[in-house]
Structure 1
Amino acid sequence: MRIAFTILIGIHGVIHLFGFLKGFGLSEFKAISEPITKSLGILWLLTALLFLFTLILLWSNKTWWIMGIIATILSQWLIVMYWKDAKYGTIVNAIMLIAIVFAYASFHFKQKVNKEITQLLTAASVPNNQTLQQVSDLPIPVQRWIKKSGILDKGPVKTIDLEQELQMLMSPEQETWQHGKATQHFSISPPAFHWKVNLHMNPVLEVVGRDQFENGKGEMTIKILSLLPVVNAKSNEKLNQATLQRYLAEIVWFPSAALSPYITWEGVNENSAKAIMSINGTTGSGTFHFDQEGTFEKFVAQRYKDVEEHAKPIEWSVTSNKTEVRDGVWIPVELEATWKLEEQDWTWLKLKIGAVNYKTN
């Protein structure tokens, strides 16, 4: 798509260059029947250069749309002046304008996301309860898990950054997995996360999403091409609880959070324990299952899949398929999430963990 756009705008810029050549008598350029003065010829050259710089910025992943809007405005002004011969150039400028709108939307979305991430990381503080003495107060399966992970060897963990590759299904009827990449940031004190995902639905269509948990509240945003909203949910008790339970499930990537005062534990059996998390009026729970050595195997909770008024919680599980060391910590790196629907078990998410960074200060 970017290559096709580059070719189109490149040709458009070359045509403007011929306007300059005609103005200085260097080319007849019969496509424009009216004469072009030297002063206007300079404007044709300037427009061509602006389109060239726009393409350079585009391939440099810079804010090309700023240069693009200037080039498009100047180009359209010249087209209006020579409307009889140049009017079809308006089509290219219209395409350019649409691309600029989506590029600005993407820029604005990224700016918003970066601001939220900065706020999360700035608000984080170093927990003061991540010690072996605290571990001894937990159910035996949880003790084995924390010790097995090696997380306490890193000292008190303040924030966690990780990269993800994922496959996702949007509905139980969908058969083709959508591929995407995500980045996620966590803090333990206070408990919060920020998750940003890019899904490629096809070579043209990209969907971006942002989930956030902060102060016991959850938010979910999904947009097509960073502009067209598909989901924008917040200020909902069901969403708050579901997002809290997601945070609870994801402490498998930073087990020291199990020592936090907002989580209480109840032993279930020799390999399982129930966690109850409560923060700022939002409460949720789930059961962690481990093997005999303390490696995480599965998390199960009754969780809201939908947040409509009459929605009811159903079984939701996260299963580990592979465990490895990341940044010195033994964590699950390949996982699947499944909803237990009335008619079937629907696995809708497959996740692979890439780089992980634990920050202690």
Structure 2
Amino acid sequence: MENVVRWTVVVVLTVHGLIHLLGVAKGFGWADVPQLKAPIGTRSGLLWLLAAALVLTAAVLLAVGAPTWWWLVAAAAAVVSQIAIVTSWEDAKAGTVLNVLLAVVAAYGFVSVGPPSFHARWDRQASEALTDVDAAPPVLLEEDLSGLPEPLATYVRRSGAVGKPRVTSLYAHFHGRIRSGPEAAWMPFTGQQVNTFGERPRRLFLMDATRSGLPVTVLHEYADATAAMRGRVLSLVTVVDASGEVMDRGETVTVFNELVVLAPGAIVDAPVRWTSLDARRVRGDFTLGDQTVSAELVFDADGDLADFVSEDRSRASEDGKSFVRQTWSTPLSGYRDSDGRRLLTSGEGRWKDPKGWFAYIELEFDAIDYNVRSLEAAGG
């Protein structure tokens, strides 16, 4: 539905922009334009040309993905186009309706990707987090694994982390689907996140989903062992605003999960006490600030991480105002080799409610970049 609306707006703006060329043709004397009865001189022709260029540029930018500054072009297009229309009001006043539409679209662009948006907030905080990581981390050596339980050490070796710089940060881009309960409809989403590791790890997670045809943006922020989760519909209406002790603890579990799932090269430096359970299971107790959370890591016969199970995470209600503790698991289903590293490609998140396990999120990782220093370098 969201794509249908976007492409409808693109088509309407393209037609609107092309119609402006009639004013250009008359102003420069290129053609007789009977639809425009009022005289248009060369100066007005230039105004119509500028309006056409701005409206068509706005349409193209929206079609190719709408960069964060797109709303500025759209707003300028609406203003210049309306000025041109006023100069030929009797002939062109119908175009005002489309400029009102363009102004509304520009306003939505401002709130969805402009300075007050979750996207802008994520960009600012992610950029700040990446400037605070070690620019030249030491290489991870085989002897650094000596203190790890053997299943975990095997996993780190298999990940390709040995012989490469220890991981201090990562950028990931992903897509998938999510739902609030076993009977709820799935919502498609795309997202990106930045994690930093070390004494003060940070996690910044941004997701754009679609629910009942409406865009929903969710932002997770974690720093100094404190977490917050916020969600908005249409980038305007707040539907989730969660923080507090339960949220802090749950997000600490998530940070622990992504440490071992996405960044095996950071495991040796993490504040974790490891206990071997058997040949394929390891328990980890992860401490950040005043939070200590635990999880069981399960490995398959090849040495890949197959699952991460914790009792220390709580499931949020749909409005994020209440939580109930449930067993949480992230079974992993795919890996690929890239540039000497073994990267996760797919997995899911599951809750165990009174009726049993159900998957609430399914993820496909499109890209994972390590030791990034800026969003531009990581493609963010």
TM-score scaled by length of structure 1? 0.83
Query: Which SS does the other structure have where 1:298 is aligned?
Result: strand
Q: Secondary structure at the match of 1:157?
A: coil
> What percentage of residue pairs aligned between the two structures are identical?
24
- Between the aligned partners of 2:372 and 2:164, the Cα distance in structure 1 is 8
Determine if the alignment matches structure 1 residue 104 to structure 2 residue 110: yes
Larger radius of gyration between Structure 1 and Structure 2: 1
**By how many angstroms is 1:171 displaced?**
3.4
Once the two structures are TM-superposed, the CA of residue 131 in structure 1 deviates from its matched residue by 4.3
Match of 2:377 in 1: none
Partner of 1:304: 314
| Residue of structure 1 equivalent to 2:255 | 247
Which of 73, 76, 87 pairs up with 1:67? 73
Counterpart of 1:241, as a letter, is R
1:149 aligns with 2:124: no
Q: Which residue of 1 aligns with 2:193?
A: 184
Q: Determine if contact 1:158/1:359 at 8 Å carries over to the other structure.
A: yes
Aligned residue identity for 1:122: T
| 1:257 to 2:278 alignment | no
Q: Secondary structure at the match of 2:315?
A: coil
The Cα offsets for residues 62-107 of structure 1, whole Å up to 9 and x where unpaired, read as 5343233223223334556766665443321121111111222343
Residues 329 and 206 (structure 1 numbering): CA distance in 2 closer, same or farther, change over 3 Å?
Answer: same
Aligned partners of 1:13 and 1:48 also within 8 Å: yes
Query: 8 Å contact 2:18–2:56 — kept in the other structure?
Result: no
Q: SS of the residue aligned with 1:150?
A: coil
CA distance, structure 2, for counterparts of residue 155 and residue 135 of structure 1: 14
What letter corresponds to residue 323 of structure 2 in structure 1? A
Distance 2:138 2:60 in 1: 50
Q: Which residue of 2 aligns with 1:47?
A: 51
Query: What runs of 5+ residues in structure 1 fail to find an aligned partner?
Result: none
Q: What is residue 204 of structure 2 aligned with on the other side?
A: 194
User: What is the CA–CA distance in structure 1 between the aligned matches of 2:85 and 2:61, rounded to whole Å?
Assistant: 24
Deviates more, 1:109-118 or 1:220-229: 220-229
Q: What letter is aligned with 1:75?
A: S
> Which residue of 252, 271, 275 corresponds with 2:284?
275
CA RMSD of aligned residues (A): 3.3
Aligned partner of residue 182 in structure 2, secondary structure: coil
Q: Contact 1:192/1:213 (CA < 8 Å) preserved in 2?
A: yes
Equivalent position amino acid for 1:47 in 2: A
User: How many residues matched?
Assistant: 356
| Cα distance change, pair 181–36 in 1 and its aligned pair in 2 (3 A) | same
Measured after TM superposition, the shift of residue 347 of structure 1 is: 0.4
- 1:140 shift after superposition: 3.4
- Asked whether 1:295 is paired with 2:289, we answer no
Aligned-partner Cα distance in 2 for 1:270–1:57? 54
In the alignment, which residue of structure 1 is the partner of 2:16?
12
1-structure distance, mates of 2:124, 2:153: 37
2:186 matches 1:169: no
Task: Give the stretch that moved more between structures: 80-89 or 111-120.
Answer: 80-89
Which residues of structure 2 form unaligned runs of 5+? 374-380
Which stretch shows the higher mean deviation, 11-20 or 281-290? 11-20
Amino acid at match of 1:146: V
Letter in 1 for 2:252: L
Q: Is the 1:129–1:260 contact (alpha carbons within 8 Å) kept by the matching residues of 2?
A: no
CA spacing shift, 1:41–1:29, aligned 2, 3 Å: farther
Query: Aligned partners of 1:56 and 1:322: how far apart in 2?
Result: 37
For residues 109-128 of structure 1, give each alpha carbon's deviation from its aligned partner in whole angstroms, at most 9, with x where no partner exists. 44432222221211112666
Amino acid at match of 2:157: K
- Deviation, structure 1 residue 44: 4.2
Task: Say whether residues 1:116 and 2:120 are aligned partners.
Answer: no
